Amino acid sequence: MRSRLEEQVAELLDSLNIEYGYEPDKFNYVIEAKYTPDFKVGDIYLETKGFFKPADRRKMLAVKKSNPDLDVRLVFQAPYNKISKNSKTTYAMWAEKNGFMWCPYYDIPRDWLNETKKETS
């Protein structure tokens, strides 16, 4: 059991001879939210990340799942930082594993940027 309260309820059910299951099922759910990418270049969205916190990683996976045709690419300040101090996975490794194109901020591929050029006078 995960908490003292759950243990107390289980003890009560046991004392009443009630048959029960503890966390027997899992259900998917969706939380409605909006995502605003940092930059748009042509049809490409660039999402910049310094610290890539767990909530941001979950959000990016949810955005990808809900918008499979959206081309979001990650631009990392430090792509070789670990996602946590106890992990061997870097930001770059996480991006590749989850199907996101990525680059360091100081080396954005030219072909990502050549989609649309500003007109100069």
Q: How far is CA 62 from the centre of its chain?
A: 6
Structure confidence at residue 1 as a pLDDT band (50, 70, 90) = confident
pLDDT value of residue 30? 85
pLDDT class of 118 with cuts at 50, 70, 90: low
What average pLDDT score do residues 72-88 get? Answer: 97
DSSP assignment of 3-65 = SHHHHHHHHHHHHTT----SS--------------SEEETTEEEEEESS--HHHHHHHHHHHH
Q: Between these two residues, 121 and 54, which has the higher pLDDT value?
A: 54
Average pLDDT, the chain: 93
> In one letter, which amino acid is 30?
V
**N-term to C-term CA, the chain:** 68
Cα–Cα dist 89/80, whole Å: 9
Predicted confidence at residue 115, as pLDDT, reads: 55
The pTM assigned to this predicted structure is: 0.77
Domains of the chain: 27-113 (3.40.91.30)
Mean pLDDT, to the nearest integer, of 60-72?
96
- The first and second tokens of residue 10, run together, are 């289980």
